[in-house]
Every structure is written in C-alpha cells, then in structure tokens.
Structure 1
Amino acid sequence: MDSDHFYLILLDVEGNVLNSNKIFQELTKSSSESALSLYLSAKSGDDFTQTIDEMLSSPKQKRHLLLDFEGKNQATKVWWEFSVITSPEMDFLGVMGVGIEFQFLKNEFPWENLSDVLGFSKIKLSPDFELLDSLNASVSKIGLNTRGSKGNNIFETLLVPADSENQQKIDRFKQDRVSCCLLLKNPENCQQFAGLLVSTNLEFHLFILPKNTKSSMDALVKPFTENQLSNFPGSIWIVDQELRLLQQNNSGSVLSNAWKGKPFKEGSLFSFNHQSNRFTTLLDKVKDCVNSGNPAEVELRVKVSPTEFGFWKMNIRPIKNSNGERIAVLIQAIDISAWGKKLMELQSENQQLKELALKPSHILRSPLSSMLGLLDLIDPRQLDKENQKYFSYLKPLAKELDDVIRTNAKKMSIFD
C-alpha cells in the first residue's frame, strides 16, 4: 500500500479505518484504527457518512468526494474515490479508498494518471472555455454527449454552473487560473457533476465526475402508502431486488436500531454487518425470496440484554405488481418474546423433570444389580422345599424390576 502521492485506506462498512498506508497515517497523525470522520471537518464528516450509506445501497457504483482533513495548523483537502469490496456472494467485506491531495492538483501532476486512477473524465478547453477535445468514450459513459459542442463555450451549453457562486468561481479562474472545484449540471436533465478546473500552459482541462444525489433515493418505487404500511402488524421492512430498503414502518425503524445500533435508512442495504452470524439464516432466506419468489419463515433469537433474549417470528413474502412480476420482498418481524420465554421455562422444567426421573433409575439399579448377583450365588438345593418355593419367585421378580427400570430410563432419555 506504499505510495508517494496517493492515500490508500481500507474501511469497514461503518467508516472505521482497518488499514492504511504510511502517508495517510502521517496525514492523520495516527496509526490506530478509528473512525475516518474523526479527522474530518463537520461538513465533510456529514458528506462522508451520507456517501457510505449510498455505497451500501448501490455497492457496484464508485463514489467520489472532496474531504477536508482538519490538522492543528490548517485543513488539507483530499479528493477520494471509494469503492465497495464484496465476496462472490455479495456480502460486504469493506470499503477501499484512494485519495490525492488537492494541492497536487494545483501543481504539475500527471493528469492522465489522475484520470486512470480516480476515474475522472477529461475535457480540454480553450482559454475562452470552448470545447477543444474530450475522451468521448469516457465522457459518454457518464451521460454527456459532446457531439456538436466543439467550439462552443462548455459552461453555456453542455455543463452550466449549478448556481451563481459556481459562476463566480469560473469567472475568477479565467483571471487568476488557480485550480478550483465546481458544481455543474447538464441543462437537459439537471444531472449534477463535480468538476475540477485546472490550467496548463496553452489550455484548460476540466475533469468531471457524476455527482451522486438523492434523486436515486427518490426514484425508489414504494409498493405501499404510509397508511397501508402502518396497518401491518409487527415490524415491517420492504426491500427491492438488490436488498435496498424501500420502506419501513415505525416499529421496523425502532427494531433495526435495537438490532443494528442504528436504524435503517431508505435506500440503504438490508444487512447486519456486525452480527452477521446471528442473522445469516434470515438474510439467506430473504435472498432466496428475491431470486426464486419462495416465501419463508424464520424464528430469530436475539440477545437484548446481558441476561435476556428476545424472540421474533420472521415472515418473508414476495410482493408482485398487477402483472404478477416480483418487484420487492416484504420482511415482517412478529415479537413472540413472551412465548419464547415461556418455552425456555418449559424446556428448563422438562430438563429438571427428566433429571428427577432418571435419578431413581441410577439409584435403584446399583443395589438391584448387587441383589441379582447375590441371588446367582445362592444354591437352591441347600434350601428346604418351602424356601425353594419362595426363592423361585424372588429372582424373576428382581429381573422384571430391572427390565422396568431399564425401559423407563430409555423412554426418558429420548426427551431432549
């Protein structure tokens, strides 16, 4: 993970640093594992937290972000690319971050490397912001069509400033040519882009990335109205084909907070990263319902305090549209803790009864075995006829008692 220019970090899904390279440790003055947000400004911390949530909802998409790291003397701006690392079964393993100081972007940095490593799309501009050239494949991939725009002022046609503040940044850049970050938008569909405008000897370079907005969250199709959702008993979560949370009722939000440590957010992934073993069966059933449409039921036992467990019956059902197509999965948690606790009490009582029933068997069989051994040593021929008669009754009765004790013990041992 060594590099002279790029920061490299490995995070867990909560944003805690698991591993990092040397220059990142020098930046944060720390080599210990801690939350990345501890080193950021308040605004950058909020932006980073939102980005992590967005990544969990769409793990296949990379995210780009400019973050302010607060030092003792001054803040350091770092441009990051974050991507999710998953297993072949799409279970989250961590988040990889690659970053570079914004200061490098103001100096003579190998721009082609910047495009390759951080996924920027590059557009060449004249000193009057006229489009000279672009990497068409790279630009079209992010939803921009530069055909017919060559020779035109890009900030008046293809990518206009998002507001007056960004227009002022463009005007200042034209005069002082100091690299700046911009928020731009496509006037045709209002898609927003993060832009980095830099100056070279003869021309300007504009590096752009699609900006993730909440529009993707708003586009989530919700199968039920809030009123319908409130009428469902128990805790409810509705997830889409990618296990993103579409809807939840108030009880679902409260319960997810109790189970996970924080409530689910709409658009986030339905997962329990720090308690994966406990919820593995539930998540496997949800994934199976997503893929096959098979409904399922799971009984879940979760520790709610150091000495107490809670019990829930989980119902998992597919949701279909009017055409019979599966569009989502409903997950319902019914609290059966009272029944579960009663069951545990009955199991405890049954165990005690079993031990009480088996105890006489062990107590009686030892002297009975000794008795049978002594009977074998007695020679009936040395007894008179009257005692021989009684002796003939005694041994069969002892064997019958031994058989009864053995049978009883076997019957009790099958109750677990």
Structure 2
Amino acid sequence: MITFDRTDQSVFGRWWWTVDRWQLVALAILMAMGTVLITAASPPVAERIGIDDTFYFVERHLLMLVPASIIMMSVSLLSPRGVARTAVVVYLVALALVAATLVVGVEIKGARRWIHIPGLSLQPSEFVKPAFAVVAAWLFSLSRTTPGFPGSFVSMVLYGGTVGLLLMQPDLGMAFVLSAVWFTQFFLAGLNVLLVVALGVLGVAGLVMAYFTFPHVTSRIDRFLDPQAGDTYQVSRSLEAFANGGLMGTGPGQGTVKFSLPDAHADFIFAVAGEELGLVACLLIVITFGFIVLRGFARVFNENNYFVILATAGLLVQFGLQSMINMGSSLHLMPTKGMTLPFISYGGSSLLALGFGMGMVLALTRKRFGPGD
C-alpha cells in the first residue's frame, strides 16, 4: 500500500493529505457496484442484439473505466485556477463538437447527439455539462471580483447558446440538467431576486413549450400521467423487477426481468439492482450518492473562494440531479429520460465526463492553505 508522510511536499504527497479520501472511497464503491451490476445485466442485452461475445458490454465498460479513473485522479491534482482553465478549454471544444453533431452527427432514435470516432461513439454534450458548470461559476465570480466585468451577462449568453444547441439535437434532458445547474448558481451568486424569479418563470414556460413542441416529450409525459396513453413496457418491467427483488433480492445474476428489459445495462440498471440485490442494496446506493453530494457541500461550507463555492455547487447539483432522474425514472416517479446512473450505468462518454466532473469536485474540495494550493 502506498503511503505518504505528512511532511512530503511532492505533488502526490500534498494531494494525499489534502484530498477528501472519504469521497474517493464512496466513488470507488459506485465504480465497483457498477462493474458488478453491468456484469449481471449486460450479457442478456448482448445476446438479444446479436453480439457473439456475451461479455462485450462488460469489457467495454472496464475499458472505459480505466481512463475515466485516470482522468478523475489527474484532474483532482489541479488547483482551482487550473480547474477553471481546463474547464474553459473542454467547454469550447465540447461545444464545437455539439455544433458539429448537427451536421456530421449520427442520428439515433430521431436525435443527433453522437459523433462516431473509430472505436468510440462520442456524445460531446456529456462533457459540456461539467465544463459549463465551472465556466459559469468562473464568470459569476469575476462579476464580483472584477468591477465592470459583465460576467453575469456573458454567462447568460453562453447559457442561452448552449441550451439552444442542445435543443436543436434535440436533447431536452441534458438542457434541463444544465438549466437546473445554471439557475442554482445564478441564485447562489446573490443576483437580483426579481431576475431570478423571472428566469424561473421562463424556465417553467420553456418546459410547457417543450411539451407542445417535441413529440417525444409529449409522449413521455402523457405515458407518465396516464399509462394507458402509450407503450410503458420498460417502466412496467422495471417495477416488476423491484417487486421481484423484495428486501434482499434474488441474488447476483439470478434476476429474470433483465432478459426482457432492453436498456437493463444502461437507463434501467437500477431496476437490475432492485431485483438481484434488493431494497437494502438500493438504499445503500442512494445513501452513497447522497453522501458524495452532502460531503462535497460540507467541504466548501466555510470556503472563502467565491469561484470554488459556485463551481462545486454546480457540479454536485448536476451529479445529484442526474442520479435522481435515473433512479426516479426506474421507479416511475417521473417521466422516463435516457440518462445514465453515474459510474454504475454502461456508457463511454458519460463515464469519461463523470470522471472529469468528479475530478474537478475532488480538486475544488481539497484542503487549501494558500492561494496557490
């Protein structure tokens, strides 16, 4: 086991004694749980779509988990200034790629969200989410620390442009998460309350408009409110899985609903956990997500750096909201939305982007003893 003395002033020595090791453990637990659940859930999916290697998705997941972990650990070494600079670069590149998907993107289920690269299908919007949260926090903080700099206005322009591109794909779920993060930061920035209320009203109006504009949104909301309004096959199978699992589950690999659940390895992997591991394990997963979010907020509770507070809040809201949407959809507590369960669901771009996002959280919540730390 690698250990560092408290007097070790190397990069890794300083990192070890300043990073939140409890968060590291919690994230490692999610990664391990994800590997177990994908191993259980994905073979039936591979067989159903005609892939000869039944462990294809397991191998792909592990292959992406390694670089995601490396990205997370590498980014966690950065200073707050380094986090801001890295986020700006990633945001600009990812936003350009999102725009490119409208021209050269691959259309899947009526949406252009992916760019095919040899050996990888990349979804640029996944990287826009964490990068935008940090860029917006940086702009809001500059409004306070640099008199005359229109940081809040620039943030509004970037927000509008980013959401506009996401809706053109269309990807309403991603636009909703990004909006929730930005509105949270806008509120925490202490800006005009009337403007906050006005933007909130516009947000609600936008959701109503989306219902009447996007047929797939209309269908999902209608099916959520009235199961007889359309096909609810996946949600019905998901609820059946939770009912079968009961308190302690049927045992790893012993579930049966996954054989008829098309997205058992991705959007509905929480249902596989419910059937095979039971209610107790599902509650432990929920607690782990809650611990990561609350622990992160606790670490910046007494922080004096305005940028660190806003950036950490944005990243944690994004992480927690994505988790809630995935689990809530599986339990039919909200309309279904194709969104991964962080570090547990299968997904290449999502896994890499989560590694980047949580690496920034680990970097921003490190103990600092000076402006350069």
Does TM-score exceed 0.5, indicating one fold? Answer: no
- The structure that has the greater radius of gyration is 1
Q: Comparing both chains, which one has the higher relative contact order based on Cα–Cα distances under 8 Å and sequence gaps of 6 or more?
A: 2
Task: Give the TM-score normalised by structure 2.
Answer: 0.25
Instruction: Return the structure number with greater helix share.
Output: 2
Q: Name the structure where strand makes up a greater proportion of residues.
A: 1
